[in-house]
Amino acid sequence: MAEDRQNGGKCFRSEVHRRQRKKNLALCAALVGFVVLVYFVAIVRMGGGG
Amino acid sequence: MSDTAYRMTASAADEAMPFGELGDYIALMKPRVMSLVVFTGLAGMLVAPGHLHWLLASVAVLCIAVGAGASGAINMWYDRDIDAVMERTRLRPLPLGRIAPEEALTFGVVLASGSVFLMGVAVNWTAAALLALTVLFYVFVYTIWLKRRTPQNIVIGGAAGAFPPMIGWAAVTGDVSLESFTLFALIFMWTPPHFWALSLYRCGDYAAAGVPMLPVVAGKAETKRQMLIYTVLLVPIAMVPTLLGFAGWVYGGAALVLGLAFVAAAIAVRRDETDRSAKRMFGFSIFYLFALFALLIADGVIGSMA
């Protein structure tokens, strides 16, 4: 993997890796957003707001 | 690995593996359909009697949107063969090979399950059950069972698009009532003339794909006749919210005027041998539903403030 990233001090990442990384970041953001949302929903419901 | 070898391997991988951009996943969720679904679902919530915390209301809208998007993704997975043939759909992510079929299916199933679960946990299980029913109806009844078998596909299948205001209503009240069923009936009756207007000028597309839309099976004259019947029936149905008392007379008056304009559009389509009136009617049908539900929302908001 190290050779994938490093070559002559430059960072080479194929189009596939670039897209995959973007997709992983979007998935990560969606999961974090989901967790935060469930947290606040729980707060509201426990407070009798529902 | 040398630089050249790495680039060659990466390039081969690029060609072999369909890695869509974020925009492809959004396209998979049919955002234009989603916007209408969200809007009608929101209207159901705002018209319903009762109160829902703003965060839970936002979660309900999000779940309706994601559930609808998930149905769209599963629909695109199943219909990828005919989508590739039809002019209107051939640039979707699956026919273009930008997303792998199994990835689209997983995406849809995960989002559908997640949205139903979140709706149940955050809002209530009646709304969650209706959302699940909507997704299952769209996928199994419309997409898999009816779409390729009968010209009544969008008549019965249209129920899937009619559920969102019922879900919105159930999110607030926790039940299904005559009032929410009226909103369902309104979209249910609106769907056939809306889709048949489109299929009148796209019937070559549907014929090539083997989809038995009414103009393909029964001809344009019969389609136009049925469109007129549905638009005429829609006029009194759109007045029911006023008659039942959950919308005011401003809405009622506007619904009557809009309904008559819709009937006039259907008459124009019947008289017109070209596709021009059908295109105009398709555009007007979208405006009609948006305007009707916008009036319902305005009525509900003004009513709750008074």
Which residue, B155, B175, B195, sits at the end of a domain? B175
Which residue, B133, B151, B175, sits at the end of a domain? B175
Q: Which residue has the higher pLDDT, B244 or B8?
A: B244
Quick check: is B13 in a domain?
no
Quick check: is B203 in a domain?
yes
Q: How far is A9 from chain B (nearest CA, A)?
A: 12
Same domain, B201 and B291: yes
CA B124 to chain centre: 23
Same domain, B144 and B272: no
Highest mean pLDDT: which range of A5-9, B3-7, B62-66: B62-66
Q: Do the Cβ atoms of A14 and B13 come within 8 Å?
A: yes
Confidence at residue A1, expressed as pLDDT on a 0 to 100 scale: 45
Same domain, B251 and B300: yes
| pLDDT tens string B106-151 | 999 999 999 999 999 999 999 999 999 999 999 999 999 999 999 9
Quick check: is B269 in a domain?
yes
**Does ipTM top 0.90?**
no
Quick check: is B6 in a domain?
no
Which residue, B175, B193, B223, sits at the end of a domain? B175
Same domain, B240 and B221: yes
Confidence at residue A2, expressed as pLDDT on a 0 to 100 scale: 46
Same domain, B28 and B139: yes
Quick check: is B15 in a domain?
no
Confidence at residue B17, expressed as pLDDT on a 0 to 100 scale: 59
Confidence at residue B14, expressed as pLDDT on a 0 to 100 scale: 46
Over 80: is that where the pLDDT of A8 sits?
Answer: no
The percentage of chain B sitting over the pLDDT mark of 90, rounded to a whole number, equals: 82
**Least confident span in A35-44, B13-22, B23-32, B48-57:** B13-22
Confidence at residue B285, expressed as pLDDT on a 0 to 100 scale: 97
Confidence at residue A4, expressed as pLDDT on a 0 to 100 scale: 47
Quick check: is B10 in a domain?
no
Domain range for B85: 21-175
Quick check: is B12 in a domain?
no
CATH number at residue B45: 1.10.357.140
Over 50: is that where the pLDDT of B5 sits?
Answer: no
Confidence at residue A3, expressed as pLDDT on a 0 to 100 scale: 46
Domain range for A25: 2-46
Same domain, B191 and B296: yes
Q: What is the mean pLDDT of chain B?
A: 91
* Interface list for chain B against chain A, based on CB atoms closer than 8 Å: 1, 3, 6-7, 10-11, 13-14, 17, 19-22, 25, 52-53, 55-56, 59, 114, 118, 121-123
Q: Do the Cβ atoms of A16 and B10 come within 8 Å?
A: yes
Using a CB-CB distance cutoff of 8 angstroms, which residues of chain A are in contact with residue B7? 12, 14
Same domain, B197 and B219: yes
Domain count, chain B: 2
Q: Do the Cβ atoms of B14 and A22 come within 8 Å?
A: no
Confidence at residue B95, expressed as pLDDT on a 0 to 100 scale: 95
CATH number at residue B201: 1.20.120
Q: Report which residue type is found at B188.
A: F
Same domain, B115 and B211: no
Distance in angstroms (rounded) separating the CA atoms of residues B51 and B147: 39
Domain count, chain A: 1
Quick check: is B171 in a domain?
yes
Same domain, B208 and B65: no
